[in-house]
Structure 1
Amino acid sequence: MTTTNSTAAVAVSAAGRGTHRGTHRGPIRRIIAGSLLTGAVLAAVLPLLLFAGAPEALITGSALLGFAAGWAVLALLSTRMTSQPQRWAWVPAAALGATGVGLLATTPDDPALTAAGWVWPPLLLALAVWMGIRVRRSLAAGSGRWLLYPVVAVMATAAVGGAIETVGLASDQRSYAMPGQLYDVGGHRLHLNCTGSGGPTVVLMSGQGGFSASWARIAPAVADTTRVCAYDRAGQGWSEDAPEAQDGVAAATDLHTLLDRAGEQGPYVLVGHSIGGDHAMVYADRYPEQVAGMVLLDATNPYRATAGDVAHAGSPGPVALLPSLTRLGVGRLLPTSFWSALPEPAASQYEAFAASPRGWRNTVDDTATMPALLSQAQGLSTLGSTPLVVLTAAGPHADQVWADAQNRMAALSTNSSHRQTDAPHAGLLDEEDGAAVSVQAIDDTVQAVRTGKNLPPD
């Protein structure tokens, strides 16, 4: 009888343990899934909504806070609601949360974030390895390990990618020495590289994603006949970042100060490619006495900006996440996305900048300030008889609206030439044939300024 009762008690106990495990096997998986989803959603929502358009440090910091919240939810709910408490999750929650708060509080600039790249990748890798061990020890097989292992693997991959990116940035800095000089324009320094002699001086203004190296085919050819200066707007190439994203007026003020402090003599022939053309138009509107001629190389249509466009920086949307993602080496995984037809070393310089966090940040800033820039470019209503060449490229973007805008820009001067070319938009700078057409347009404008005669026919 005693034996029978003991056997029954053991059976009931075993059944109870089985029921207990069965009860918690489902909830722990749901808690893990819910916690990971919570972290992922918050890591996306906070940067895109609460910190939309903010500097890279704030974007990264807010994303880390989102992930930290997810790990905290896992630690809290698993302890209170299951028999498999995951108290170890407080460690990544604390580590990511503290880092996120630190970034939000200090808002480090690009050099500081780059320097931090020598520290955080090994720490993150160590944390990922430790988390993988804790997952294996604290979760029974079938309790949701398979949900956490991929996340730990992603963290380890991010650490390795971050280390590769940091080493790559250091290598790029050593490999590509800066030509020209930096000049303080008031709180930040801009890069200017001038070659050649004679007048009028030609000033080259890059488009979105470009910088002074983008003119490698054009600047040397123009320097054979006159002085030519390629410069980088704030945040581009070798120039330092401005305290905040700049619209066309701020960039024009910077350029005016830069040329003055560099001792360059105007009036100038402004040459702008893509949105660089719109920047040239804003400069001409602000400083008309400093403009002797202008060449617009497939300039972005400024007339698409309407009265409803905001006059200040707008939200760049998901593209704002790209500088932070690039810190993980994403840009170096897709090198062909930034391939350039420029000659070396300019091609490698362009590719390195385009794939870097600063390159993406520059794209984010240009996207955010685009409405303001285009609206400000519309302020240029006439150039009088100032020599003006409008060069329109071929490509899918060249529809009737684009053609009408190019004609409208050509009508800004009574001494203008509107030319068509088979070269694509980017090819006006980086392809040999397209660059030759651009050089001819610049040379014709320089000669028209020198002689006071009309431009050659289209």
Structure 2
Amino acid sequence: MNTLKWIKRILMALLLIIFLLLMAGFVFERISRSIAEKIKPDGQFAEVENHKMHYLQQGKGGPTVVFETAFDPAGHLQWYHIQQNLPKSYTTFSYDRSGILWSERGANPKTGEKMAEELHTLLEKSKAPKPYILVGHSFGGMLTRFFVQKYPKDVAGVILVDSQYPADEKYLSPQLYKMVNQGLPGGFLKFANTFGAARLMFKNMFPENNQYQYQNSVMPALLYKSADATLEEQDHMKSVKTEAAAINTFGSVPLYVITAGDKTKYDSFIKDQKIKNEMLGAWDKMQKDLLNLSTDSKQIIAEKSGHYINQDQPEVIEKAVNDMVEKVSVQ
């Protein structure tokens, strides 16, 4: 009987501790959000279908290099350091998709076509000089297909940075396909976002050095704004991939396919060597298949990079951008 009483007391104490921790987290989150509201946006805003979207535009003259972010709550911050390093003799343009960082969510569905329409409207409103060179990382690389299909006359070149391959089931075994497409635990992350844990989990998403100090301060501070829209994009991922797979040509638009070359890039989340080798081989085949999107394409291997080439070897992307600008400028 005494044992039962002690068990009940211990359980009550644990529940009380959990409750107090949740309340402390909730208060911490509300204070953090209040502080984050005072962070001044680094770019400008334009009205896109009754909601404001945020973009960072630098340089002058054409062409305009347009950066499209991966499935990522960091939005334009993933390109921030690269934009600073590129010449100002042409225009560079990064932005936050609807609901990410400083961009309002709006009412449009998270389809590939609608995201392309929003980007095009934003470019028009910002008066970014045409033509455009699209640079898309991962999920953002897949989104470039919708833009090229809808606005082909505006696109002078495309650079895919370790881009997702929409028909990945073509190269992956059922086991591996399920593994790489399982997504983030949406319910848990929404819970964590309410009680202050999410901003701690994503505290150092960028490398911990001075070059990324700004990104590491802004991204977690504004995560509460980005989380829901990012998870919403995940909910639409399957349909976006299906639609993107049907867009299988850029015609003769110049295309660079930049591929991560670090063979250890999957070591942290794939322990089985056989499955790891399968993933490496499949990704290599998918990246080579992307070359078939254009009759004028070439592959660039970032030998020391994992999936985030924009962090591991940004100089590879910068050189590819400069080369593409020169290529399309003399045509």
Aligning the two structures, in what range does the TM-score lie when normalised by the shorter sequence? 0.7 to 0.9
Q: State which of 166, 172, 192 in structure 1 corresponds to 2:55.
A: 192
Q: State which of 279, 293, 296 in structure 1 corresponds to 2:160.
A: 296
Aligned in 2, Cα 1:246/1:172: closer, same or farther, shift over 3 Å?
A: same
For 1:245 and 1:320, the matched residues in 2 are separated by 20
- Higher relative CO (Cα under 8 Å, sequence separation at least 6) belongs to 2
Amino acid at match of 2:215: A
For 2:327 and 2:97, the matched residues in 1 are separated by 28
Match of 2:318 in 1: 439
User: Which one has a larger percent helix, Structure 1 or Structure 2?
Assistant: 1
Amino acid at match of 1:344: Q
Give yes or no for the alignment of 1:277 onto 2:123. no
User: Which one has a larger percent strand, Structure 1 or Structure 2?
Assistant: 2
For 1:408 and 1:316, the matched residues in 2 are separated by 24
Amino acid at match of 1:438: I
Give yes or no for the alignment of 1:168 onto 2:32. yes
Tell me the TM-score normalized by structure 2: 0.83
Aligned in 2, Cα 1:157/1:212: closer, same or farther, shift over 3 Å?
A: same
Q: State which of 394, 401, 404 in structure 1 corresponds to 2:282.
A: 401
The Cα shift of 1:160 comes to 0.7
* CA shift digits 1:266-303 (9 cap, x unpaired): 22100001111111122111221121111001111212
Give yes or no for the alignment of 1:344 onto 2:225. no
Q: Which secondary structure state, in structure 2, belongs to the residue aligned with residue 302 of structure 1?
A: coil
Contact in 1 for aligned 2:136/2:142 (Cα 8 Å): yes
The Cα shift of 1:415 comes to 1.6
Give yes or no for the alignment of 1:265 onto 2:129. yes
For 1:380 and 1:143, the matched residues in 2 are separated by 61
Q: State which of 228, 232, 250 in structure 2 corresponds to 1:383.
A: 250
Aligned in 2, Cα 1:245/1:320: closer, same or farther, shift over 3 Å?
A: farther
Q: Which secondary structure state, in structure 1, belongs to the residue aligned with residue 304 of structure 2?
A: strand
* Most deviating of 379-388 and 196-205: 379-388
Q: Which secondary structure state, in structure 2, belongs to the residue aligned with residue 243 of structure 1?
A: coil
Match of 1:103 in 2: none
Match of 1:361 in 2: 228
* CA shift digits 1:224-255 (9 cap, x unpaired): 33101111111212111133650211111111
For 2:91 and 2:200, the matched residues in 1 are separated by 39
The Cα shift of 1:265 comes to 3.2
Q: State which of 61, 64, 75 in structure 2 corresponds to 1:201.
A: 64
Aligned in 2, Cα 1:181/1:378: closer, same or farther, shift over 3 Å?
A: same
* CA shift digits 1:113-161 (9 cap, x unpaired): xxxxxxxxxxxxxxxxxxxxxxxxxxxx558343333222211111111
Amino acid at match of 2:235: A
- In the alignment, structure 2 segments of 5+ residues that lack a partner are 171-180, 267-278
* CA shift digits 1:26-48 (9 cap, x unpaired): 9xx8xxxxxxxxxxxxxxxxxxx
The Cα shift of 1:223 comes to 3.9
For 2:321 and 2:19, the matched residues in 1 are separated by 51
CA-based RMSD: 2.6
Match of 1:215 in 2: 79
For 2:155 and 2:95, the matched residues in 1 are separated by 17
For 1:335 and 1:400, the matched residues in 2 are separated by 30
Q: Which secondary structure state, in structure 1, belongs to the residue aligned with residue 293 of structure 2?
A: coil
Amino acid at match of 1:226: Y
Q: Which secondary structure state, in structure 2, belongs to the residue aligned with residue 365 of structure 1?
A: helix
Amino acid at match of 2:232: D
Aligned in 2, Cα 1:291/1:163: closer, same or farther, shift over 3 Å?
A: same
Contact in 1 for aligned 2:105/2:229 (Cα 8 Å): no
5 Å-filtered alignment, 1:41-440, equals: 144-174=8-38, 176-209=39-72, 210-243=74-107, 246-304=110-168, 318-334=185-201, 338-341=205-208, 342-353=211-222, 356-395=223-262, 396-397=265-266, 399-431=280-312, 434-440=313-319
For 2:27 and 2:235, the matched residues in 1 are separated by 29
For 2:188 and 2:66, the matched residues in 1 are separated by 33
Q: Whose radius of gyration is greater, 1 or 2?
A: 1
Aligned in 2, Cα 1:178/1:419: closer, same or farther, shift over 3 Å?
A: same
For 1:317 and 1:231, the matched residues in 2 are separated by 23
Size of the aligned set, in residue pairs, is 304
Aligned in 2, Cα 1:164/1:430: closer, same or farther, shift over 3 Å?
A: same
Match of 2:175 in 1: none
For 1:318 and 1:450, the matched residues in 2 are separated by 45
Amino acid at match of 1:424: S
- In the alignment, structure 1 segments of 5+ residues that lack a partner are 1-21, 30-140, 307-313, 453-458
Aligned in 2, Cα 1:249/1:423: closer, same or farther, shift over 3 Å?
A: farther
Contact in 2 for aligned 1:340/1:351 (Cα 8 Å): no
Contact in 2 for aligned 1:389/1:418 (Cα 8 Å): yes
For 2:259 and 2:206, the matched residues in 1 are separated by 23
* CA shift digits 1:187-236 (9 cap, x unpaired): 32211111101211111111111311111221122343310111111121
For 1:143 and 1:389, the matched residues in 2 are separated by 64
Contact in 1 for aligned 2:136/2:163 (Cα 8 Å): yes
Contact in 1 for aligned 2:99/2:106 (Cα 8 Å): yes
